[in-house]
Amino acid sequence: MVKQKKAVEKQVKQVKKMTEFETFLALIKGYCGSVILFCPKAFANGGYFYSSFTLWVSCLFTTVCALKLIECGQRYNCYSYSLIVKKAFGKKGRLMLDLMIAFSQ
């Protein structure tokens, strides 16, 4: 347990933090990049009312989840998504997350 904690702390110290502008661009790229491509067809299929409502609900859930991740990162002094998952689910959880992210790219 102590070795694992030291390894996590060492990895956290090596992580270069992004500036506010870089963070903004990463969020725009991550959240909005694919939406821009799929939104026109989604609105055509779902209609204006239902698609607008669903888009706002999705936005709400995404914001709440992002805030929860930030809260976890601040609580455990861990600013990497992969490291937060490792703290929550262990090595197997982190491996699964890394694989899912790699395959979704």
What does the pLDDT look like over 34-79, one tens digit per residue? 777 788 888 899 998 999 999 899 889 989 998 998 898 899 888 8
Token digits of residue 46: 């779902």
pLDDT over threshold 80, residue 10: no
pTM of the model: 0.59
Average pLDDT, the chain: 84
Q: What is residue 8's predicted lDDT score, i.e. its pLDDT? A: 64
Q: How many separate helices (H) and strands (E) can be counted in the chain?
A: 5, 0
Predicted local confidence at residue 7, as pLDDT: 66
The pairs formed by 69-77 with CB atoms below 8 angstroms and a separation of 24 or more are 77/12
Rounded Cα distance, 84 and 81, in Å:
5
